[in-house]
Structure 1
Amino acid sequence: MKRLDHPSTAVDMALLEAVKSDDRLNAYHISLYTALLYYGKGIRQIPFHASRRKLMGFSRIKSGATYHKCLRELISYGYLDYHPSFHPQQGSRIVLTATTVPSDDDR
């Protein structure tokens, strides 16, 4: 297996720790969030563009309804900001925002 030396590995781990500790998330959420980390290179607060097709393929989510439900919940839980794009080549604008698990007051 090829070793990846990625400069944002520490950020990836911090974000994954936040996701791991959140009991509201299931395997689909975690898979989609992992895809978002991959395409966003794990960098918080920097917008990136990704298409539904790429995110669904990477996360192995087959159903559009499941994808949109998980995306909507990740947004409402404060893990990301999402601005849809209707341009066929550009992809939607996404910003990873989570740094810690939201408190019980935020849930």
Structure 2
Amino acid sequence: MNYIKHLTGFYENLLLDNTLNPTHISLYIALFQFWNFNRFRNPTIISRDEVMRISKINSKATYHKCLKNLHTLGYIDYQPSYNPFKGSQVIMFDFAGTLKPVSLSKKDKGSL
């Protein structure tokens, strides 16, 4: 997993999506960090308290709303456990393959 390409692909998708706000981005980056800690294995087991702490989200309602939005919009696949002793599962989708080469115009090439 090339995490630089992945995050670049995520941000390219984000530019086209007007529904996400900074809280969604913060939550996604926290989930990405969990995925990274688990060596990019899917699914990744998450703890609500830990993800909320890392993402700096203080409201459980906001956390769940943003998590469900990320799921509905296709950024993640969220599978809640409803068991307080077992973490929920998140599948992170690979955005590294969504990168498209950008061709430089003659004007842009002249400034290189």
Q: Which runs of 5+ in 1 are unaligned?
A: 1-5, 101-107
Distance 1:49 1:20, change over 3 A: farther
Mark the CA change 1:52 to 1:92 in structure 2 (over 3 Å): closer, same or farther.
same
Q: Secondary structure at the match of 1:94?
A: strand
Q: CA RMSD in A?
A: 2.4
Q: TM-score, normalised by structure 1?
A: 0.73
Which protein shows a greater Rg?
2
Match of 1:85 among 74, 81, 85: 81
Secondary structure, counterpart of 1:82 in structure 2 = strand
Matched-pair contact (CA < 8 Å) for 2:6–2:94: no
TM (norm. structure 2) is: 0.70
Paired position in structure 2 for 1:51: 47
Deviations 1:38-80 (A, max 9, x none): 111284x821111100110001000001001101111110111
Identical aligned pairs, as a percentage? 38
The residue correspondences of 1:1-107 to structure 2 (distance < 5 A) are 8-41=3-36, 43=40, 46-97=42-93, 99=95
d(CA) in 2 for partners of 1:66, 1:95: 20
Moved more, 80-89 or 29-38: 80-89
Taking the aligned partners of 1:98 and 1:68, their CA distance within structure 2 comes to 22
Query: Structure 2: which 5+ residue stretches go unaligned?
Result: 99-112
